[in-house]
Every structure is written in C-alpha cells, then in structure tokens.
Chain A
Amino acid sequence: MNPIAWLAEPFAHPFLVRAMAAGALVAALCATLGVFVVQRGLSYIGDGLAHATFGGIALGLLVGVSTENMIWAALPFTVLVAFGITKVLRRGTLGGDVATGVLSSASFALGVILMGLRPADAPPVNVETVLFGSLLAVSPQDLWVVGAVAAVAGGLVIANWGRLAYLTFDPELAALSGVNVRVFDYLLLSLTAAVIVVAVKTVGVALVSSFMIIPAAAARMLGSSFGRVALIAIVLGVVGSQIGLFLSYHLNVASGATIILTLGALFGAAWPLRRRG
C-alpha cells in the first residue's frame, strides 16, 4: 500500500473520525486541568474521581438510567465526591491524597455493590466497557456532549486562568492578593470532575488518570512558565491521542491502551530535553 493511502485510510471511517475528534478534545481538557492538579501535588485525583464515576454510573443504572445516558447520572455524583475531597483538602487535617483515596475507593465499592443489586431482568451492562472505555464506539451524540463540556470547561479555565494559576502557586498568597480561594478551589475540582466523567466515557476508568498526568508531567519538564507548560501539555495530549488512535487502528489493538503507551513514549522523549534548575 502506498504511504498516502496508508495514512488516509482511517479517515474513511466515520467512527474513527469521531474517535479522533473526541480523543483530541478529551486529551486537551485532561491536559489543561492536569497541569493544575499535578502542580498542586494532586496527581491521583484523576484516578480517584474516575473510580468515583463508576459509583455514579452504577447508581444511575440501578435507578433505570440507560447506558447511553449514564454520563448524566455520573456527573452530579462525581462532582459531589469532588466537593467532598475539596472540603477535606481545605480543612488541611488530611492530605488531598488521603481524601481522594478514601472517597474514591468507597465510591467504587458502592458501584460494585449497586451493580450487583440490579434486577436480574435488567439490560446487561458490559462492565469492561465502563472500566476500559470505548473511544471507537463514540456516537455523534457522545461527541456533542464532549464538545459541550469542552466548551464550558475550556471557557471557564481560560476566563479564570490567572486566578487558578495564582491559587496553584500558593493559596495563602493568592487569598491575600484578593483571589477568592474557596470559590476557585471548588471550581477547579468541579471542572476536573466534569472532564473526568466525559473522559471515562471515552478512555475508561482505568486509563483516565494517565490522560491527566502524563502530558502535564512531560510539559512540566519542558516549560519555563506556567502558561507554556499548559500549552505544551495540550499539544502533547492531543498529538499522543491522535498517534495512539492511528496506531491502534493499523495494529488492531485496544485504542485507549495504545494512546496511553504513546503518551508514555512522549514522556520518555521529553525526559532528555528537561530543563535543569
């Protein structure tokens, strides 16, 4: 096969074009918020909230929400868990990692129990799809949801960039400069929860935190300012998602896992280029 045809082949499939669009949007969103959470030492909040999402999905399915609409049950549940983590974090008695660990594992366990309580005649649910995602199964409706979340979350982050960045540098100094730290703490973790719910739909519970951590961590090694770190993280996330999808198509392997491995390779490539000091 000639190289041009080989490169163009995936674009002949509408499902793959949708996957690429959704992958790019989710990667950009996760990378943007990942820059904040990684810098604040909350790297595993992505993993924790993704596990909490499973609890929300299970609750939704138990009360009769369809698998197509389970995202709408997961969203408020995960935002509530994010509020709980923020509250514990702000009290300062326990670290953010402890709050994340307790609330997310409890939510996941609740999800497992709720799944088991579903009536025997309820429509079957593929738990593996929930856990590992199905980027290639993104429907046009899913793409609209991802686009809407991207527009709202992206708009809020851009509009409040300076205050969120100041808060990330140091909450105490930000408060003394007039930033309402409480409001922006809750805003940041609520946006993170919303983006993770959407990301779970595309890359799955098990892999979502990699989407959040790896581009941000790689960019942290390369960028000289917080703004540049965010820009580099977005580029790495989007490029990694597109290369990963492309490879998964041609190698006929799982899309989510291939994207994460591609992001890992990009992190490895960034390592020798890291800034010193």
Chain B
Amino acid sequence: MTGPAPGAPGAAGAAFTRPDPSREAVLEARGVTVEFDGRRVLDDVSFWVPKGEFVCLCGPNGAGKSTFLKAALGLVSPTRGSVLVLGAATHKAPAGRVGYVPQRKADAARFPAAVVDLIVANLRGSWPLHVGARDRQRARDALARVHGEHLLDRPLSRLSGGEAQRVFLARALVTEPVLLILDEPTAGVDASGRAEFLDLLAALAASDELAAVLVTHNLAAVARCAERIVYLDAGRLVAWGLPGELLGRGSLSALAHAPSARAMPDEE
C-alpha cells in the first residue's frame, strides 16, 4: 500500500512538506479524536509515517502526545477516527509488529529478573521460567544492536538509567517490528547515558530499517534524529513538516504560542 494523498490529513501548515505519497504508510492517524469523561484530549489529528522515516512528536505538556502514543499502541480507543499500522487497526496488529520503548521504568529494578528474561518475555508474550539456547541467542543479537551484549545476564536491579533504556530498546527490537514507538526514552537518564542513547537513535534513523515515532522534549534528540516533525498543541496538530522547515523558524516552541514555549524545555 502507499501513503495517503499529500495534504489530505488534517490541519495546519500547508506550507510544510509532507511525505512522498508513493511511499508505503506504516503508521496512519486518520482524524483521531480522543475524549476522556467529555474532555477532548486529541482533536482530529491526522498524519502518517512512511516506511523508514523517523518522526519526532513534539509539543508542550498536555498537548496530547502520550494519549496519541497510547492510541497508536492500541491501549486507548479513539472516540472518533482511527490509527492504522500497515493498514490495520493497531489493536488488531499482531504482538511484536509495533516495538515500544517506554519512559524509564524505575519499578523494573525491583523485579527479580535478568536482562535476558525481559527480552525473551517480549518474544514469547509470557515471562520465561527457563530460557533456551535459541531465545538466548535472539536476545543476545538484539542487545548487540544496542551495544549491550555484556548486559545479557545482568540483573535488572544493577542497570544504570542509560543501560536500562538500551535494554528496553533491545527488547523492542527483538521482535523485528515495523514501527518503533519511543516515549521520552531519555527522560531521567544522566548525560552520558542520554548521549549514548541518542547515538543509537541517530543510527536507527539513518538506517531506514523501520518507521519510528519519538515523543520527546529533548531538542538535541529532535535535531539529531528527526526526519520529520509533528507538533501538537492542546490536542491539535499544529505543524507537520521537515526539521529544517520547523527548526528554521527559530525554535519548535515558536510554532505554537507563548504557553508552548514555556513547556518545551530542552533537557540538556
């Protein structure tokens, strides 16, 4: 399948460059509206992500970024509209087609398990009592992609913040997903861990292996990884274009109005 016609989806920013419609759409948001208890959190959001494109989803706190991610992951059902992965509703996509890297999960360190268990759990859809040689090798291969083979048997309690996020990235990659979704993966990670993680993301963005959507407040991450930027504010899509088009206007936060500018801190 190929992507939707340019300009067809939604909202603002007709001057921004849309993806080439001849490319295959991996993720497609069609007029996504989400309401909680009558409160509209997302309002008619439409954009699409072609194969191999790395998209940064930006916006101030409360813009609806996390809700959009949950809709894309199938954890929240849109009130109206739909989110499709390779043309199918996300909740119908087979487990593993969408890889997910969450914000740093401090609670994970309290769970008695090794890194290999966490990665194999995502492969099997079930926490392993025993890991066979084949699954162990697949976990090792996934860790190699994030330069973390040495972490294979390390307890989760003994990972630094940066190591933990690399392990979660390996966990997401082990199922060979078509789409990778990352929710502020460097939040709460120290400077060196953040730099290492951004190197990995930049390499993924350059490889064109898979489509990715990165939610971040980190302008350094946007500058290094984004092949396209989607900017939400107050639940609405404000801009969707190339980094040069958006960053060239001074800063991302200048796209929205003053409240957005206050809520778009650069972690670095």
Contact = CB atoms under 8 A, between A and B. Distances in A.
Interface stretch (B15-23, B102-110, B216-224): B102-110
Given A170-B105, A176-B95, A224 B155 contact: yes
A170 B106 CA distance: 11
Chain A contact-residue range equals 20 to 34
Interface stretch (A6-14, A145-153, A186-194, A225-233): A225-233
B112 A220 contact: yes
Interface string A153-172: 00000000111011011101
A39 B111 contact: yes
Contacts of B125: 163, 166, 177-179
A29 B74 CA distance: 35
Contact of A173 (B100, B110, B128): B100
Contacts of A39: 110-111
A177 B112 contact: no
B158 interface: yes
A173 B171 CA distance: 11
Contacts of A178: 95, 125
Contacts of B98: 176
Given A162-B129, A170-B107, A176-B95, A226 B112 contact: yes
A277 B127 contact: no
A175 interface: yes
A277 B124 CA distance: 27
- Is chain A's interface secondary structure helix, strand, loop, or mixed overall? helix
Contacts, number: 73
A228 B112 contact: yes
A223 interface: yes
Given A177-B122, A277-B158, A162 B112 contact: no
Given A177-B122, A277-B157, A170 B112 contact: no
Interface string B222-242: 000000000000000000000
B128 A162 contact: yes
Given A162-B127, A162-B128, A229 B105 contact: no
Contacts of B102: 172-173
B126 A179 contact: yes
B91 to A, nearest CB: 10
B167 interface: no
A277 B95 contact: no
A178 B112 CA distance: 22
Contacts of B157: 277
B123 to A, nearest CB: 9
Contacts of A226: 111-113, 117, 127
B121 interface: yes
A226 B127 CA distance: 9
Contact of A229 (B95, B112, B124): B112
Contacts of B74: 176
A121 to B, nearest CB: 53
B191 interface: no
A277 B117 CA distance: 17
A171 to B, nearest CB: 10
B127 A163 contact: yes
A165 B128 CA distance: 9
A251 to B, nearest CB: 36
B127 A175 contact: no
Interface string B81-123: 0000000000000011010101001011011111001100110
6 contacts: A173-B102, A176-B73, A176-B74, A176-B75, A224-B112, A225-B114
Interface of B: 73-75, 95-96, 98, 100, 102, 105, 107-108, 110-114, 117-118, 121-122, 124-129, 155, 157-158
Interface of A: 39, 161-163, 165-166, 168-170, 172-173, 175-179, 220, 223-229, 277
Given A162-B129, A163-B127, A226-B117, 17 more contacts: A39-B111, A162-B128, A163-B126, A166-B121, A166-B127, A169-B111, A173-B100, A173-B121, A175-B75, A176-B95, A176-B98, A225-B112, A225-B114, A226-B112, A227-B129, A229-B112, A277-B158
